[in-house]
Every structure is written in C-alpha cells, then in structure tokens.
Structure 1
Amino acid sequence: MGSTHSVFSFSSGKGGVGKTNIVANTAIALANMGKRPLILDADLGLANIDVLLGLAPRYNIKHVLSGEKTIKDVLVEGPHGILILPAGSGVPELLDLTETQKRILLDEMETISDMIDTLLIDTAAGISDNVLYFNIASQHRIIVVTPEPTSITDAYALIKVLYTRHKVEDFCILVNWANSENDAKKVYSQLASVADRFLGPLRLEFIGFVPRDQYLQKAVLQQRAVLDMYPNASSSAAFRDLAHRINRMGQEAKPDGNIRFFWKDFLMIQ
C-alpha cells in the first residue's frame, strides 16, 4: 500500500450526537469525489450504519474470524459504491482475539487493499476500551460534539483519557447541529480552552461543522443519505466540505499511515 491510504476514527463522548450520520454522508461525499472509502461499523454493541442506509447485511466480521466467510463475502455495498464492513452484531470479543484470529483479520484486510483508499471508523460513544483502541490506532481522530453542555463535557472526558493514559495529542473537532459557523467555533473554543487549561500542550483543530437542518432529519426517516435526497441542503454542503478536508488530510499523511498499519497497531501484531 502507498501513502494514499488514510484512516479516520469518528468518536464522541456521548451518544446521540449524529456521528453515524456524519460518517455515512462523508463516505458518500468522498465517493462522489472519486475516492474509495470503507466504513468500519465499530460500535460493537449498537451498530446501526446499515439501518441508517436501509441495508441488511447477512454477515459480519465474526464470520471472517471464524473462517466461514472471506472479507469480500462480508462487505456490503452502500450508496455510490461505498463499502461497509459490518462489525457490530455479536462481536464483543474483537479486542480479545487469538493470535490466529488476528492474523486472519490482517490477511483478509490485505486482500481488499486495492479496493479502498480511505478507512472511516464509526466507533461507539464513550471511553470504552474499544473506543480507545480504535482512536489510538487511527491516523486521524475526529471528535464529534454538539452545542449541548453534556456533549462538550463528555467530549473533553474522551480527549482527557486518550491524552493522559495513551499520550494522544492530536484531535480534530467537528461540531454537529450548530446554528451557525460562529456558534460552532464557540463550542470548539470552549472545548479547546478547557483542554488547554487542564491537560497541557494538546493540538485541537476545528475541522468544520454541520448545521441544524430539517432536511437531514427527513432523510434519516427515509433511511437515505441527505446527500442523495437533498443535495442542495445546507447539511449536504457541509458534508462535501468535510470530505474535501479529509481528502487533503489524507494526502498530507505520513507514508506509514495506511490501512495495514492501522490493523497491525489495533491488533498489536509486531
């Protein structure tokens, strides 16, 4: 693999902040730019990206680990050719794999390396071991936060754990459901100010915002991407902007930031 492969984790301190919707629409926007994204649904308890897009996966990563299926059998194709690796149903042991299972997963990921160039990981909310591991192993960490005080507090808690326990220093902040760019930047400033005061030399970058948009909710109810149903909506424009930003970040990445290295880090394979 070359340096064009990049890995982004999307996380949040609390649930219900619209993270999965952001991942799905960003993947579609990337596909529309000619990229080849893969979504890893890593919310191992409450996986729902398939529901969001009206898909019905028959298999998940568990079937790959057992040797029943190859990863190509398990991949689901979503709108505009985006690929989704379902990993939610019945796979709580993903962090407790045997060495054999780790090797199987790594080898299987290698078989699809030429099919994808960007890995988007939709993690669970909170600070569980799964969430922390995916963030540590990722090349770029995007923390989704809303203007609600509890969302900001919980986002800070996630950043604090990653920084103090695992020495992670770089984060991108994406504000969802903001009334305006000014409001979004206020949320970012609040978070950055608290982090700077209590944690130290962190790098928190404002990566953008998604505005409150009635069309986004209408699309969710239809199990469709807002980019498809309402391409002229303000949220659709925001997802296109985010995709361009992510694409630039991927192009500027270090040469070792690719998908095989992600899985080696995550699976702790030497």
Structure 2
Amino acid sequence: MKYPKTLPQAHKQLLARIIAELSQDPRIVGIGASGSFTSDSMDKYSDLDLVIAVDPAHFETVMTQRFELTDKVDGKVAASTGEHVGEPRLVIALYAPDAIHVDFKFVSLPDAAVRVDDTKVLWEREDCLTRVLSSSTHQYPQPDPQWIEDRFWIWVHYGATKIARGEYFEALEFLSFLRTVVLSPLALKQQQLAPSGVRKIEERLPEFAAHLQKTVAQPERASLIPAFEKCVALYLTLRDKEHVDKNLSAQQLCLDYFKNELTD
C-alpha cells in the first residue's frame, strides 16, 4: 500500500503500530483507511479513520473485545464508543505521544461494502477486503430537499418560540442545527460536493461561508433575530434550485408568526 504524501510522520508511525498489532489477531481479516487518507489531504490535525474488517463468524466476539484490541496498540490514553455519532461499532481513541485521534470502525467483512466514502486497503488476508470493496461503490448520503421542506417551517416556528421565551442558548444551538443539517448540505450538494455538514465549508465554499457567517449570533434577542432571518433567506435561495412541493401556507404562517412575535 502506497501511503499518501500528506500523511504526517507521527501518523505513519502510529499506523504501523496499529497494523502490526491488529494483524496478529486471526479474526481480523483486513484493515482499511478512509477520510482524508484516501483524498491525500491530511495534516497534523487529521484523524486516522480506520475500517477493521472481521471474519463474520467471530464478529460478535470481537465487538465485545474491541477495547482490549485497541488497548494493545502502544500509546492509548483514552477510548470510547461512538453512539453519540450514531455508530456504536466505532471505537474512538487517543494515542500518545502525539495526541493522535483514531477512529476504529469494526465491521463484519461483508458489511465493509457499505460505506460513505472511499476506503483504501492497508492490510488484508488473501485479498478478501479488496474483493468486498470492489463489489460496490461508496455513496455519501445526500440531503433530501423535500424532507427538509416538509420540516423547515416547523423548525422556523420552533426557533421563534425559543427567542420569544428568552431561551437564547437553545436558539443558538438550533441555529447550528440549521447550518449543519439544512444550509450547508444543500449548498454543497448543489455544487456537486460531498454534503458533509459545515466541515471545511470555509475552504470548500468560501463565498457561501461568508453568507453563513451572518447566521452566527450571540445569546441575545437582538443578535438572534437577524441570524434566523438570514437562515430563512439562505434557505429560500437554496430551495429555488431544487424541485420540491413547497408548503407555502406553512411558510406564510410561520413567517408571519416570526414577524408578529419578534420584529413588530
């Protein structure tokens, strides 16, 4: 396996330790890397995103022992599971001495075919992981414009009630939700880019990111109101580029509510 040119030396050394240790377990049949490793866009702040393919006959046992396996790699200082990101198969670990974050996603070998981005094989037994990966293509989940439209005006109403009630930090969190789930994914999709929330949005869509800055507020009524108004304006612009059944009655009701409660 040819490593990417951008792979930092500290990451390379840790990766060598991981492969050397995990490949000794006969239940593990392949190790792959994804994320910035596959796009050759790593830097010293990058994670190592690893796929650990397991013999299906031993997957359940390995899952119960996955912390023991990652503990064997020298330098581990902390680890937890990934339920908070919707992936309980994940072990998220931190390794000394260079404070490198590693995501170990343990999968039954056939399940390695289902993936959101490209995976490069680092090590395998008898080409088994290569064969599984070659049987399918990766597909990043795309935002559903109709799903968003069906919910957006309810979300606008919700945001208005938070501001009107004085729950300003709750409103701040909701603005972040709209940026991550609605605005950035739609903007990225429309530019044929992977719609990965706000990650690296400053680099990927700098002009859109400049507009997005106006949706960032302070926990104050006078700051939150224009930030929400900017979210609505950006959404309407993005929606015009999609084919959706517009809920104009809900749109009018919620915009009137926002105006009557907050701006009159």
TM category (shorter chain) comes to under 0.3
TM (normalized to structure 1)?
0.26
- Compare the two structures and name the one with the higher helix fraction: 2
Which of 1 and 2 has greater Rg? 2
TM-score normalised by length of structure 2: 0.26
